[in-house]
Amino acid sequence: MNMTRPLLALILVLALALPARAGSFGSSALLHGLWTEAQLAGTPADRVVTKPWSKDPDLTPPARLDPLRRLEPVPANLRGVVRRVDPARGERLVALTFDLCERASNVSGYQNEIINFLRAHRIPATFFAGGKWMRSHPEKAMQLMADPLFELGNHSWTHANMAIVDDAEVARQVLWTQAQYELLREELGKRAAARGLAKDMAAVPESLRLFRLPYGRNAAHTLDLLAAMGLPVIQWDALGEWNDGSGAPEKSVAHALKSVRPGSIILMHANAVPKNTQLVVPLLAAALEKQGYRCVTVSDLLLSGPVETVQDGYFEKPGDNVQYDTLFLGGGTLHPRPAEPKTP
């Protein structure tokens, strides 16, 4: 009896039954081969955020201006500003996302308690890293790159407001960040090779393949520029850090859960700028699990069904972020300058 056909049918059934995978984002052998548990866990120094304007703004470019790799333009089905996905069969998937924003006017931190929690509980997440942040936190950036749980995306070089800067600046902000990622991946590759782990580098993506708009701001034309550079724009439909002034993490969780539904993308930060996100994450993860949700990376979420898009980014309601066009200086890349102390 010819067994080939039933075998092929079985393989087909299995392939259809398995969820589509976006590919891998790292390797456990790499992560644990290059860093000790203590190095991965980090120290309180990781969480230091320097004072804005404590020194002159850092406007220096990365060591490589142009990425070696360019991406294919974004396919039509992923154009626009993605706020959520509509998973097939209503599958209860959500994506936790953490921005690692850093402007030119200071150095932000790395909230190691968040990453340590996610690692301990095997919760996948997506980090949108600023290029300058990756340069000022190379070890942390490489650890996130190496970790198979975590996906990285591009969050511009110094947090430029894409609604108000010119096209050349949009390109610099995006491509410098792509180039910085490549530089760190090359360094990771050298270390991997020195430990006999070169083959594990195949699991680390060669380029960042997602983009998040700083301040959620864009001009209509920004989306065309980003699509041409091959980067789908991923925003959110739920805020994980809503603050009523009390700082109570339970309030943030309750607020987030009002918006969360299958396919939601949840916005948070891991740059230690918001002060209680590390308290929100365990409560939110527990609440999501209780409601039957499973956390996946953004790329895996995008494979689960059609995306829901808008044409302009925002926090909760269209236009609720326009104040950022004037709040920050230098096209969004600088904090407001503190008032000069009065001389008597």
Site string for Zn ion, 131-160 (x = CB under 5 A): ------------------------------
129 is an interface residue for Zn ion by CB under 5 A: no
Using the Cα atoms of residue 17, residue 19, residue 21 and residue 24 in order, give the sign of their dihedral: negative
Binding residue count for Zn ion, defined by CB under 5 A:
3
Which residue's CB comes closest to Zn ion? 101
- Residue pair 126/182 in contact by the 8 Å Cβ criterion: no
* Minimum distance from residue 102 beta carbon to Zn ion (Å): 9
Enumerate residues 180-209 that contact Zn ion by CB under 5 A: none
Tell me whether residue 153 or residue 214 sits nearer to Zn ion (CB atom): 214
The H or E element containing residue 203 is: none
Tell me whether residue 278 or residue 304 sits nearer to Zn ion (CB atom): 278
Question: Which window, 81-89, 100-108, 132-140, 322-330, contacts Zn ion (CB under 5 A)?
Answer: 100-108
101 is an interface residue for Zn ion by CB under 5 A: yes
99 is an interface residue for Zn ion by CB under 5 A: yes
CB contact set of 120 (below 8 Å; sequence gap of 6+): none
CA distance 149 to 139: 17
Pull the structure tokens for residue 19. 């969820």
* Minimum distance from residue 212 beta carbon to Zn ion (Å): 7
Q: Calculate helix-pair angle for 167-194, 220-228, nearest 10 degrees.
A: 40
DSSP labels, 244-310: -SS--HHHHHHHHHHH--TTEEEEEE-SS-SSSHHHHHHHHHHHHHHTT-EE--HHHHHTTS-EEEE
CA distance 43 to 209: 30
CA distance 250 to 103: 29
Enumerate residues 23-52 that contact Zn ion by CB under 5 A: none
Tell me whether residue 236 or residue 293 sits nearer to Zn ion (CB atom): 236
Question: Which window, 184-192, 211-219, 291-299, 315-323, contacts Zn ion (CB under 5 A)?
Answer: 211-219
Tell me whether residue 131 or residue 214 sits nearer to Zn ion (CB atom): 214
* Minimum distance from residue 99 beta carbon to Zn ion (Å): 4
Tell me whether residue 99 or residue 312 sits nearer to Zn ion (CB atom): 99
**CB count, 10 Å around CB of 324?**
18
* Minimum distance from residue 170 beta carbon to Zn ion (Å): 15
Tell me whether residue 101 or residue 184 sits nearer to Zn ion (CB atom): 101
Enumerate residues 216-275 that contact Zn ion by CB under 5 A: none
* Minimum distance from residue 232 beta carbon to Zn ion (Å): 17
- Residue pair 179/64 in contact by the 8 Å Cβ criterion: yes
Three-state secondary-structure class, residue 221? helix
Binding site for Zn ion (CB under 5 A): 99, 101, 214
